[in-house]
Amino acid sequence: MTGYRAIKYTLFICCYVFWVVSAVLIAVGIYAKIAKETDVVDTLTLDPALLLIVVGSVMFLITLLGCFGALRNDTCLLKAFLGILAAVLVLQVAAGVVGYLFTDVVMERTDRLMMKAIVRYREDQDLENAIDFIQKKFQCCGVESYKDWSQNVYFQCSDTNPSLEACGVPFSCCVRLQNQTVLNTMCGYGQQRVEERSARQKIFTAGCLEKIVWWAKNNLLLVAGLSGGLLLLELVMICLAAAQISWINKVLRQAGSKPPRNDSLSYPAFGNSDE
């Protein structure tokens, strides 16, 4: 029964690792949500904290089924885990195929989503930090260009805008000098009034959508490797769950007994597999 135990505990360890990761995601999301003010963005697509909670909760429930199903030899839980994980895998593959076939539609939807994030830049601290991180990481500004920041009420470039940041861009758009130690948070002030050639000397003028797509194309092997690795891990867990279910049913048939009506069988957590 060594092979059975290897399948059982390998599946349990994999599920347990993802279960711990999901619990951490939920904790971070709840902490970030509580730390916010009450009147902030609460939509799933624009609230990183809420997104962490939702993704973490889904992972938590799925991996919990896998953990208990594998440890207790419960075919009902294992089948539920296998079915949900298989559905998630199919949805991921379908999303990838649809994204590849309808690239223009995906790019258009992404453009709209990013523009909404710019409009709500100052309404959510987590969203603001996420945008600043992206602009610093990819050395970009706005969605298509630095002038997209005029869509935000604080940076809107108009004579009637009373904001001190009118016609400016966030400091995360600024080009940092090599030996600069003190961050100048006012470096983006008034840069929307400047022509792109002149503005390029102080801020990043290229849009983030273009930079992200360019990065993905130049790191295609890395992106494909990470995506393929995740799909492969999910497929391995599905195969392990199917193998454990098959082995349990085989033991029942050899013992000459029929499974209960609920199609579940629970053994002691660390009992012998031939019990």
What pLDDT digit, counting tens, does each position of 83-126 carry? 999 999 999 899 888 888 888 888 899 899 999 999 989 887 88
pTM tops 0.85, yes or no:
no
Q: How many CA atoms lie within 13 A of 168 on its CB side?
A: 17
Which positions ≥6 away from 209 have C-beta within 8 Å? 107, 110, 111, 114, 143, 144
- Predicted pLDDT of residue 36: 63
What pLDDT digit, counting tens, does each position of 161-200 carry? 888 889 999 999 998 877 766 777 788 888 998 888 888 8
Q: How many CA atoms lie within 13 A of 178 on its CB side?
A: 0
pLDDT for 259 beyond 80: no
- Predicted pLDDT of residue 208: 94
- Predicted pLDDT of residue 46: 58
Q: How far is CA 58 from CA 106, 173, 193, 225, in A?
A: 24, 35, 46, 24
What pLDDT digit, counting tens, does each position of 9-26 carry? 999 999 999 999 999 989
Kindly state which CATH superfamily the domain 105-217 is placed in: Tetraspanin (1.10.1450.10)
- Predicted pLDDT of residue 212: 92
203 strand-pairing partners: 174
- Predicted pLDDT of residue 79: 94
Query: How many Å apart are CA 251 and CA 274, to the nearest integer?
Result: 7
Domains in the chain: boundaries = 2-101+236-255, 105-217
